[in-house]
Amino acid sequence: MELIEFKWKREVPEDFIVKETAEYPFSDSGNYYLYLLIKRNLSTRDLAEKLQFSYAGMKDKLALTFQYVSFDKFIGNYKKEKIDSKSWYILKFVGRIKKKIKIGQLKGNRFFINLRDLKTEERNWFINYYDIQRINNNWKKGRNLIKKLFKSPKRKLKWRENFFIDSYLSYLWNKSLELYLKERVSGHFIKEKNETFFIPELEDFQALPKFWTILGYKKKLLESEIYYEKILKEEGFELKEFLELLRKLRIKGDYRMTYVLVRDFKKVGNYVFFYLPKGSYATMYLKHLQMETS
């Protein structure tokens, strides 16, 4: 199968603009304070640690992003800080809410992306792989941690350890679904950094399973079981033992959409505009948009 390099590269934060969509009911007696955070060239997590706010989703660092965050105290109607010549943030008070924002508490995101010289084809859907922001370099650390935890699983994991394990589970999700797809349809591979992704060529994508299981002890594997067995065996694990370890670690698993339909797509010059549900990667959509001959 053909392997092609992913051609798109962002050069400045304005090449990748993200606006979060969410609904938080206001309450005059609410104990938390809702703010709109606009940031440039800053990571959500680093800023959250500095300012002590809660957020629903991580937003890219090399980007211009708009998202909602909550504080447990009022910090003023408007706050702006310039970190350096390339990085700044703005906080604008929106209203009071009863509960603080939690991870995942959003509907989706609207994207405004400068394609630059990327040659694209028409496509209104894509396979919902986890992209390199999630897995690159991290999944191997997660695999090594899993191997150590087989010897001593009964302990509370640190945030970073959970992150690495989640990255590995995301990698396994990608590879098990890829194996399923390669058995059924033709396609090509696209590569970015150290990771490759199988881009299928099929017309009736709705014939695919709507959801694919993220490994965990509480979720049924359904069609994914035989593919996880094969992938885990290549990784040096047995599925049954792996699931037992996840049970000890209290990792329940989940179901992730196999493919995503893109909404409100528009192309104007070098820019594309579109909406994706939460958890989906705009950069993965760009990988599917890229022409094989690009």
Residue 90 shares a structural domain with residue 174? no
pLDDT at position 293 = 64
Position 25 scores a pLDDT of 94
Q: Say if 257 falls within a structural domain.
A: yes
Which pTM was predicted?
0.94
d(CA 36, CA 62) in angstroms, rounded, equals 19
Task: Return the pLDDT at 189.
Answer: 96
Q: Which helix (H) or strand (E) holds 237?
A: none
| pLDDT one-digit tens code per residue, 128-145 | 999 999 999 899 999 999
pLDDT at 89: 98
Instruction: Look up the domain containing 51 and give its range.
Output: 23-106
Positions of the chain with pLDDT lower than 70, given as ranges: 154, 293-294
The answer as to whether 248 is a domain residue is yes
Indicate which CATH number applies to the domain containing 71.
3.30.70.3160
248: CB partners within 8 A, 6+ apart:
153, 154
Same domain, 60 and 180: no
User: Do 98 and 148 belong together in one domain?
Assistant: no
Looking at the structure, tell me whether residues 55 and 177 fall in a common domain.
no
CA nearest to 112, candidates 277, 271, 276, 286: 271
Which of 46, 74, 106 is the C-terminal boundary of a domain?
Answer: 106
Residue 92 pLDDT: 98
Cβ atoms 1, 189 nearer than 8 A = yes
- Are 135 and 254 members of one domain? yes
pLDDT of residue 211: 97
pLDDT of residue 169: 98
Q: Give CA–CA dist 6/286, Å, rounded.
A: 9
Report the C-alpha gap between 224 and 151 in whole angstroms.
27
Give the number of domains in the chain: 2
- Are residues 207 and 85 both part of a single domain? no
**Residues 97 and 161 occupy one common structural domain:** no
Averaged pLDDT score across all residues of the chain? 95
C-alpha separations of 161 from 141, 143, 168, 278 in Å? 9, 11, 11, 23
Residues 140 and 203 both lie in one domain: yes
